[in-house]
Homo-oligomer: A and B are copies of this chain.
């Protein structure tokens, strides 16, 4: 009952393309078993894909993600690895917060520009009356 999924079912379940899954396999992020030449994705593959997609939303590269998954596999029960993973996540959090701060500044500046633009348009409209 270890429900394995075909590539199509997998794509539908996770909203990705077949190309993506084959690419992830080639990059050693997934390890579907083979039935003849067809791929069958196991529960483990689904768990990994969930983590992969989440990692991508966090802005990690596939290579980063592969390393994190490997670490987890090798010694997910070692405190040292856990601490390292924890540190990586914190670094990324800081990067994201810095990025948000810069974005806030840019948004504020752009708002000023827009306000000036609105003023100029108002001036033109008045002049046209």
B residues near A102, Cβ cutoff 8 Å: 57-59
Each complex incorporates copies of this chain amounting to: 2
A17 at the interface (CB under 8 A from B): no
Give the interface size class of chain A: 35 or more
A16 at the interface (CB under 8 A from B): no
Instruction: Indicate with 1 or 0, residue by residue over A55-99, a CB within 8 angstroms of chain B CB atoms.
Output: 001111000000000000001100100110110011011001101
- Find out whether the CB atom of A59 lies under 8 angstroms from the CB atom of B93: no
Residues of A whose CB lies within 8 Å of any CB of B are 54, 57-60, 75-76, 79, 82-83, 85-86, 89-90, 92-93, 96-97, 99-100, 102-107, 109-111, 113-114, 117-118, 120-121, 124-125, 128
